Structure 1
Amino acid sequence: MDGEFLLSWAASELRRELGPYSRPFEIFGQGSRVNGTHLGHDSDIDLVLMLTEPGHGWERFRDDVLTVLGESHIVRMGRRCLNVDDPDSLFAEMVDILVATEHRWYPVPGSPHYEQGVFFRDQQGRPIVNFPKQHRLHGDVKDLRTGGRFKQAVRAVKRARRWAEAEHLLEEGTAPSYLVECLLFNVPDPVYLSAPGPAHREAVAWLSRHHREDPESFAALPCQNGINRLFGPGPDQWEPGAAARIIDVLHQI
Structure 2
Amino acid sequence: MIVYEYPFNERIRTLLRLEDLHEKFVFFLHQESPLQHHVALSTIFEMLEVAGRADLKSDLLQELERQKQILLAYQSNPNVEAEMLNAILSEVDRASAALSASQGRTGQNIRENEWLMSIRGRTIIPGGACEFDLPSYYAWQKRTAEQRFTDISNWFAPLEPLFDAVGIVMRLLRESGHPVKINAEGGSYQQMLQGKIYQMLRLVIDEEMGAIPEISANKYMLWVRFTSQDGDMKPKPFEGEVPFELALCGF
TM-score (norm 2): 0.25
TM-score (norm 1): 0.25
The structure having more radius of gyration, on CA atoms, is: 2
> 1 or 2, which has the higher helix percentage?
2
